[in-house]
């Protein structure tokens, strides 16, 4: 009888401790799943001649729910902004982003369609030069016969005074005469810097002029 009583007490105590532990641990797990990533927010390129000009990162869905017995996953979104020849900023379509391991660290990765390329944008927030910066690596994957390329930049988080909401301008005609057989261009317009990069990849004679325009635009 005494042994049975001890066992009952032990079992009750164990159940009580499990209930308390669950109530304490569960909110911590949910908080960890819902915490904004270190890369969250708007970031500005430190290279004035760099492209993209801004990168937006945000958490879209928090994976703290169980639907039909399945744990939901946390999802993220990424949007890049490029500067056009008019000086206006153009926002590429928002794409989904996921964390992927590389070189012993977790990087947030999004794939952005850019003309004849698919830009795989890898970002990671780190401490650098005494401040939080975002390391950005871009693989420009060619979708046709042009060679692929890579870019590397450092971004800083935007303060309200530094980064205002970009305004997308309307592309105006510069007097080009259209012919009856001319086809309307499909997809979003490319920036001068993107055109320069594409021309350089094709070894086009127009590359030096486009690169000069890109540098002048960012000054």
Domain count, the chain: 1
In a domain, 47, yes or no: yes
| Rounded average pLDDT over 171-191 | 48
Instruction: Report whether pLDDT(14) > 90.
Output: no
pLDDT category of residue 176 using cuts at 50, 70 and 90: very low
In a domain, 119, yes or no: yes
Instruction: Report whether pLDDT(214) > 80.
Output: no
In a domain, 213, yes or no: no
Question: Can you tell me the distance from the alpha carbon of 137 to that of 76, in angstroms, rounded to the nearest whole number?
Answer: 18
Greater confidence, 72 or 20? 72
In a domain, 50, yes or no: yes
Looking at residue 93, which CATH number applies to its domain?
2.40.128
Q: Which segment, 117-121, 171-175, 178-182, is predicted with the most confidence on average?
A: 117-121
Question: Can you tell me the distance from the alpha carbon of 113 to that of 93, in angstroms, rounded to the nearest whole number?
Answer: 8
Closest by CA to 152, choosing from 133, 130, 132, 127, is 133
CB 64 within 8 A of CB 25: no
Worst-scoring range by mean pLDDT, 7-16, 76-85, 167-176, 191-200? 167-176
| Rounded average pLDDT over 98-127 | 95
**In the chain, what percentage of residues exceed pLDDT 70?**
63
In a domain, 115, yes or no: yes
**Whole domain around residue 89: which residue ranges?**
41-163
pLDDT, position 30: 42
In a domain, 9, yes or no: no
In a domain, 145, yes or no: yes
Distances (CA, A) of 74 to 36, 63, 212, 215: 10, 4, 42, 39
- What is the pTM (predicted TM-score) of this model? 0.60
| Rounded average pLDDT over 165-186 | 45
In a domain, 84, yes or no: yes
pLDDT category of residue 216 using cuts at 50, 70 and 90: confident
Greater confidence, 32 or 49? 49
pLDDT, position 196: 79
Across the chain, mean pLDDT equals 75
């Amino acid at each position: 009888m005494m042994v049975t009583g001890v066992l009952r007490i032990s079992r009750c105590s164990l159940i009580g401790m499990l209930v308390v532990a669950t109530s304490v641990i569960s909110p911590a797990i949910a908080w960890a799943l819902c915490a904004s990533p270190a890369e969250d927010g708007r970031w500005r390129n430190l290279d004035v001649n760099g492209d993209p000009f801004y990168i937006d990162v945000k958490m879209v869905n928090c994976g703290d729910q169980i639907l039909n017995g399945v744990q939901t996953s946390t999802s993220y979104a990424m949007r890049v902004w490029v500067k056009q020849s008019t000086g206006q900023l153009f926002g590429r379509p928002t794409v989904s982003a996921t964390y992927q391991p590389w070189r012993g660290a977790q990087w947030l990765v999004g794939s952005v369609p850019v003309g004849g390329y698919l830009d795989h944008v890898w970002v990671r927030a780190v401490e650098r030069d005494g401040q939080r910066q975002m390391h950005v690596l871009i693989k420009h994957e060619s979708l046709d016969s042009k060679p692929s390329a890579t870019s590397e930049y450092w971004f800083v988080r935007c303060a309200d005074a530094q980064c205002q909401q970009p305004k997308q301008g309307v592309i105006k005609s510069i007097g080009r005469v259209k012919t009856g057989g001319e086809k309307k261009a499909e997809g979003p317009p490319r920036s001068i810097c993107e055109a320069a990069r594409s021309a350089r990849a094709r070894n086009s004679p127009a590359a030096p002029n486009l690169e000069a325009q890109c540098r002048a635009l960012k000054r």
